């Protein structure tokens, strides 16, 4: 079993950790087969922010909430920011949406139609204007663009179009703004996707400049992909900008982070700790991006935050000196054992202490259930149109 000598530093790092929640995860979501609605689901951007603030209130480590445009479009984004601040949270990354307009059936910034490309690129520029108002640092770009059939469009031309749109948006970024380029293996495109893997995202970011970095969505890889390798590689290259945490058994299942393969989440956080990249000052945006199709949304997000915390705590417990010694001496089993010792440790007591030290309930899920918040929103939000992915 592992000795726990430096809990002060571990707890300090855990206290400083920041995880961003996504406004859309509080809304209804589903599969192509069915969206099951839930009671109390927010109807407006403000209500989504209120839910995010609630998650922060119980976890203490989720002080920012990412928005999705146009889903969260409001008249006055400065007012929205003030609203958020009043609830104790900040607006985080601005996510663009160029996949839910009929025009985008065959693509947005890579569409063969120049007019549609213009429209999509303008949306990217609009999002940066929104960032000016919300004070957001990060423009997060995910493109659903791709092809369903071989021959449908020219793979290479689409890269040219993509590069042009990215360049235009990049050049519009302010001094303190950044671009995060997400990649995805497939879906909704079923033959070819225009940014299918980290290599494609990395290559474009490299060409764009230092304000462009890669966003790793943990559910967007081919089966068997070693995600922590990508983390290590991008950290070494200075090009890892953000995570979209979620988990999956099959495709982009968008389950709670850490639910499908907690050991993988630990290995990812282990590379983060090894690369001294956990501290918010390093600049990585650790976001959740999930769909709670059948489980209660706010508790699921609280649980996801806790899962990331637990993986982080275990990563912080890795005995780096012992690990390095074993690695350098070629002791395969010894090195693996050092890592596993940390993973096999029950870190929940440590996190309970961290929370108690911060004046929080050591069990955020139980505290949420006792708080009456769920009953309140179910009562208050009975009327009107619930927000969903398309709302």
Considering only residues 39 to 98 of the shown chain, the ones binding a copy of itself according to CB under 8 A are none
Given a contact cutoff of 8 angstroms between Cβ atoms, the answer to whether 243 and 215 are in contact is yes
Instruction: By CB under 8 A, name the one of 96, 271, 277, 290 that touches a copy of itself.
Output: 271
Contacts with a copy of itself: how many residues (CB under 8 A)?
106
Smallest gap from Cβ 329 to a copy of itself, in A, equals 8
Residue 70 burial (10 A CB sphere; 0-12, 13-18, 19+): middle
Pairing of strands 138-141, 178-182: parallel
Contact segment (CB under 8 A) with a copy of itself among 48-56, 77-85, 152-160, 281-289 equals 152-160
Instruction: By CB under 8 A, name the one of 3, 32, 75, 175 that touches a copy of itself.
Output: 32
Bridge partners, 67 (sequence order) = 94
Smallest gap from Cβ 117 to a copy of itself, in A, equals 13
337 forms part of the interface with a copy of itself (CB under 8 A): yes
CA dihedral 121, 154, 204, 248 (to 10 degrees): 90
Smallest gap from Cβ 198 to a copy of itself, in A, equals 5
Distance from chain centroid for Cα 141: 12
Smallest gap from Cβ 316 to a copy of itself, in A, equals 15
Instruction: By CB under 8 A, name the one of 250, 276, 372, 385 that touches a copy of itself.
Output: 250
36 forms part of the interface with a copy of itself (CB under 8 A): yes
Residues 6+ apart with CB under 8 A from 167: 208
Alpha-carbon span 70 to 100, nearest angstrom? 10
Nearer to a copy of itself, 164 or 260 (CB): 260
Contact segment (CB under 8 A) with a copy of itself among 58-66, 77-85, 124-132, 346-354 equals 346-354
Which residues, numbered 284-303, are part of the site for a copy of itself (CB under 8 A)? 293-296, 299-300, 303
Alpha-carbon span 181 to 216, nearest angstrom? 9
281 forms part of the interface with a copy of itself (CB under 8 A): no
Smallest gap from Cβ 16 to a copy of itself, in A, equals 23
Residue 102: CA atoms inside 13 Å, Cβ hemisphere, count?
A: 0
Q: Which two tokens stand for residue 289?
A: 């991006």
Instruction: By CB under 8 A, name the one of 61, 65, 259, 317 that touches a copy of itself.
Output: 259
Alpha-carbon span 144 to 65, nearest angstrom? 22
């Amino acid at each position: 079993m592992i000795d726990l000598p430096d809990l002060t530093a571990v707890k300090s790092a855990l206290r400083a950790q920041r995880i961003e929640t996504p406004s859309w995860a509080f809304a209804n979501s589903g599969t192509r087969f069915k969206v099951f609605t839930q009671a109390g689901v927010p109807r407006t951007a403000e209500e989504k922010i209120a839910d995010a603030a609630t998650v922060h209130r119980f976890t203490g480590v989720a002080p920012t909430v990412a928005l999705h445009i146009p889903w969260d479009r409001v008249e006055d984004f400065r007012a929205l920011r003030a609203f958020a601040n009043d609830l104790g949270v900040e607006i985080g990354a601005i996510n663009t949406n160029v996949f839910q307009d009929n025009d985008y059936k065959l693509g947005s910034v890579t569409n063969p139609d120049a007019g549609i490309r213009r429209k999509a690129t303008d949306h990217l520029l609009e999002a940066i204007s929104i960032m000016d108002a919300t004070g957001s640092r990060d423009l997060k770009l995910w493109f659903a663009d791709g092809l369903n059939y071989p021959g449908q469009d020219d793979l290479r031309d689409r890269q040219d179009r993509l590069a042009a749109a990215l360049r235009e948006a990049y050049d519009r970024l302010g001094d303190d703004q950044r671009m995060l380029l997400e990649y995805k293996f497939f879906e909704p495109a079923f033959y070819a996707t225009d940014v299918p893997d980290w290599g494609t995202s990395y290559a474009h970011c490299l060409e764009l400049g230092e304000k462009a970095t890669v966003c790793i969505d943990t559910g967007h890889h081919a089966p068997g992909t070693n995600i922590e390798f990508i983390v290590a590689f991008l950290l070494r290259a200075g090009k890892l900008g953000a995570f979209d945490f979620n988990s999956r058994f099959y495709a982009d299942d968008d389950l709670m982070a850490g639910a499908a393969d907690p050991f993988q989440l630990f290995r990812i956080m282990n590379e983060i700790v090894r690369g001294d990249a956990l501290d918010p000052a390093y600049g990585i945006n650790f976001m959740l991006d999930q769909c709670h199709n059948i489980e209660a949304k706010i508790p699921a997000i609280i649980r996801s935050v806790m899962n990331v915390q637990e993986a982080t705590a275990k990563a912080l417990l890795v005995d780096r000196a012992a690990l390095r010694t074993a690695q350098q001496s070629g002791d395969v089993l010894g090195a693996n054992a050092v890592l596993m010792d940390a993973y096999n440790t029950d870190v929940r007591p440590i996190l309970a202490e961290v929370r108690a030290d911060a004046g929080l309930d050591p069990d955020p899920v139980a505290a949420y259930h006792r708080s009456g918040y769920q009953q309140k929103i179910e009562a208050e939000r009975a009327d009107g149109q619930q927000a969903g992915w398309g709302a």
